[in-house]
Amino acid sequence: MFGYCGDVLFPTQTLSQITEVIDSDLIAFSPAGTIDRSTEQVVSIMESALNTYPAVARNKFDILYCTREGEYMQARFHLRQIAFDPPAAPTISSIEIPGESGAAAILGSGSQTVRTHLNRWAKSHVGGTSRAVFSAFCDSLQSESDPLSGGPPQLVGLHRKSPPKTFGMIWQQRRYFYGLEASPPDTQDGVGWFNELFEICDPQTLARKRGAQPQPRPAGSSRR
């Protein structure tokens, strides 16, 4: 599972290609392999692709690479930050996964406003939950405090079994999937939908799904 910030053109094009190569088993990620080895392979592919770019188009960007080893209770999660700042060589940093729900990494020009909203949610009665982290990120986007951050949030889950799963977002009374506006689905099977409060939603009505647990906004967690 990949995320990125900074220059968006190169990562957008290249990471989707790398994902297809991995899913097609054209990169030998053996069960005995390590996260460090797989990270090195990803970096090698990125460097080769970056070398084909014109020098003037090579800008700074960061990639977050999250993966899982094993399944169920034996599963181990890993997170690496890969920083590209041409013409310097890329650097790889290991990021510790929090032992409880929390933000593992906050990058980019909007990091300060994200931290501001995280602090507000952390002081509420739902602090320390995954919904507090996600809602704080959504509040940061809606605040428009950072002119370089915007658009609908994207939500992906990596659990103890099965590949990562992308969820749909109900954002400002519209449906989005992978950041793109989506038409109403014919059925509710296959894709889960959430709003900015991390409530399970009905993609047809755009409201909280019947029977889903309400997640009211706590006092003191204003959007702005």
Q: Are residues 81 and 136 in the same domain?
A: no
* Together in a domain, 77 and 154: no
Phi, psi at 69, each rounded to 5°: -110, 130
* pLDDT number for residue 28: 63
| pLDDT of the residue at 69 | 87
Q: Which two tokens stand for residue 111?
A: 């990091």
Choose the weakest-confidence range: 4-13, 146-155, 163-172. Answer: 4-13
pLDDT at 5: 93
Work out the pLDDT band at 29, boundaries 50, 70, 90: low
pLDDT at 220 over 70: no
Q: How confident is residue 221, by pLDDT bands cut at 50, 70 and 90? A: low
Final residue belonging to a domain, choices 66, 97, 128: 97
What pLDDT, in 10s, does the model give residues 94-122? Answer: 999 988 899 999 999 999 999 999 999 99
pLDDT at 197: 97
- The pTM assigned to this predicted structure is 0.88
- pLDDT at residue 91 is higher than 60: yes
Query: Same domain for 123 and 214?
Result: yes
DSSP string, 5-28: EE--HHHHHHHHHHHHHHHTT-S-
- Domain with 115, as residue range(s), is 101-224
Number of domains in the chain: 2
Q: Identify whether residues 151 and 185 lie together within a single domain.
A: yes
* 83 and 185 assigned to the same domain: no
Which one, of 171, 175, 196, 194, lies nearest residue 185 by Cα? 175
Residues 182 and 81 placed together within one structural domain of the fold: no
Q: How confident is the model at residue 22 (pLDDT cuts 50, 70, 90)?
A: confident
pLDDT at 23: 80
Same domain? For 43 and 132 the reply is no
Do residues 92 and 80 touch, judged by C-beta distance below 8 A? Answer: yes
Does residue 35 sit in the same domain as residue 89? Answer: yes
| Average pLDDT of the segment spanning 198-219 | 94
Count helices and strands (H / E) in the chain: 4, 9
Cβ contact 63:107 at 8 Å: no
Query: Do 119 and 173 have their domain in common?
Result: yes
Tell me, yes or no, whether 111 and 80 share the same domain.
no
Least confident of 96-105, 126-135, 180-189, 199-208: 180-189
> In this predicted structure, what is the pLDDT of residue 189?
74
pLDDT band at 54 (very low <50, low <70, confident <90, very high): confident
Task: Decide if pLDDT at 32 tops 60.
Answer: no
